[in-house]
Amino acid sequence: MRFVLTGNPLLLFTITLLLLLPTVAVAQHDHTHEAQAPAQSGGLQKPPDDQILHVNAFNHRLAGVFVLLAGLVVLGQSKFAEKVPVTRYLWPALLFFPGVYLLVLSDPETWPLGPVPLLAALRQDQEVMQHKIFSILLLALGSIEFLRARSTLTARWSAFGFPILALGGSLLLLVHPHNPGTHGADHMSVMQNVEAQHLWFTIVGIGIAIGKALAELNWAQRRAFAYAWPAMMMVLGALLIKFEP
């Protein structure tokens, strides 16, 4: 299927960012060879656990704020879309912004925040790789729904792009590693707490995916699910905001 990019600055920016960021990271390789030496002798050199914990908590809470706001906008857009048409594009943009932030700044040890080249981190650290996958999922969700709101993307399959990606991201949370906090005396309780919170993220995320899919179908209960899935987005946003590593 052919997509016309002209006139879609959001899609153009997304594609450009995804193409250029790894290229820039490769260019940093020669300038950070010394920083890679510790990583080659026993894994990537990471910042102190406390620093990573603070960054992880901030990332979860930042995403939570935008997810909660996106759900709120979706719930209200039926009342305001006719008077203020721009609200149709607002909630996809609210997913797009944290996606860009997390794509670039999710991990303090990697470029551009830390000395480790991005590609080296992606090869050697599953947590970094998954953070980038989650950020790309947010970008894809926002881009698809933005193009649908503009009526640029009208294919029937596009109505189920959001549910499929949301379901995939939710299931990926079940195997998402969290390395910090695993070396102290309380590492078991820390990991159990993180895993329990991510299990709730997964459950609510699956609910969002199913609700969005059912809201796209032409059937009698469509209206109920059109309210249910953004309400669950607000619940997910609140859970992310309350995240405690």
How many domains are contained in the chain? Answer: 1
Note whether residue 63 is domain-resident.
yes
* CB contact at 8 A, 111 and 117: yes
Q: Tell me: the pLDDT tens digits for 29-83?
A: 333 333 333 434 345 556 666 777 888 899 999 999 999 999 999 999 878 877 8
Q: Hey, which of 2-6, 49-53, 113-117, 200-204 has the most confident mean pLDDT?
A: 200-204
Residue 234 has a pLDDT of 98
Q: For 59-71, give one letter per residue: b (16+ CB within 10 A) or e.
A: bbebbbebbbbbb
Note whether residue 128 is domain-resident.
yes
The model scores a pTM over 0.75: yes
Note whether residue 67 is domain-resident.
yes
The domain of 68 spans 9-29+48-241
Of 15 and 198, the one with more pLDDT: 198
Q: Tell me: the pLDDT tens digits for 128-164?
A: 999 999 999 999 999 999 999 999 999 999 999 999 9
Q: For a pLDDT cut of 90, what percent of the chain falls above it?
A: 57
233: pLDDT strictly greater than 70? yes
Of 126 and 79, the one with more pLDDT: 126
Quickly count: other Cβ atoms within 10 Å of residue 213's Cβ: 18
Note whether residue 141 is domain-resident.
yes
User: What is the sign of the dihedral through the CA atoms of 197, 198, 200 and 205?
Assistant: positive
Residue 6 has a pLDDT of 44
Note whether residue 146 is domain-resident.
yes
Note whether residue 157 is domain-resident.
yes
Write out the two tokens for 60: 């979860």
